[in-house]
Amino acid sequence: MRNMSKKPVITIGREYGAGGRTVAKALSRAFDIPWYDRDFVKMTSEDSGYTVDEINRDGEEISSRTKLIDAIFSNASYTSAHDAIFNAQRKEIVKLAANAPCIIVGRCSNVVLREANIPSFDIFLYGSLEFRMKRAAELGENKDMDLQKYVEQRDVYRSNYYKTYTKKSMGDYHDYDICVDMSSVGTEKGIEMIISALKGILE
């Protein structure tokens, strides 16, 4: 991270259930800058022609089966929905970050901005399975699926997505300015640590 203004562009990568939205909201309040996660989907939909449902389904996760199918059919004339949506989201990420300080959750935004030569402070949040299962239970997104299986599946899908579009492994500390084990320090302390690190850099 270099040449950052007094109000930063921040990216948050995270394991499922590690508290990405919670941290984004807290940083938004602390630095008085907007944050983008699910509302980002609507913006991408308006500019890309894909529906919100399509982007929610294909916009940040890739199953192992889908990854295999894309690999089989990959050629110069084939573009998967994942590829098209990723390209649309990449344009939105660059546009948002180039215009004003903001916080962007997920979607390979740390690498996207690096490739666009836009300075950012890149965070990765992770935690024990037990910690993240507790958070997942509160979210209730697993429906009828076993909670542990659901959390592990979401991690695999996000990891596949990150690997596909960055050629890197999600969670590798080389790709971030700070990595925080939220299960070890707790959500509140983790947020305090991140804010302190950012203020130290910006002073």
pLDDT digits (tens, 9 = 90+) for 98-141: 999 999 999 999 999 999 999 999 999 999 999 999 999 998 89
Q: Where are the beta strands (DSSP E) in the chain?
A: 10-14, 35-36, 103-105, 121-126, 178-181
C-alpha closest to that of 21 among 47, 40, 43, 2: 40
Region 47-60 average pLDDT = 69
176 dihedral zone (left: phi>0; alpha: psi -120 to 50; beta): beta
130, 15 Cβ separation under 8 angstroms: no
Q: DSSP assignment, residue 69?
A: H
Average pLDDT, the chain: 85
Query: Is pLDDT above 60 for 148?
Result: yes
pLDDT band at 27 (very low <50, low <70, confident <90, very high): very high
pLDDT band at 71 (very low <50, low <70, confident <90, very high): very low
pLDDT band at 80 (very low <50, low <70, confident <90, very high): low
Q: What tokens does 200 get?
A: 């130290």
> Is this prediction's pTM over 0.95?
no
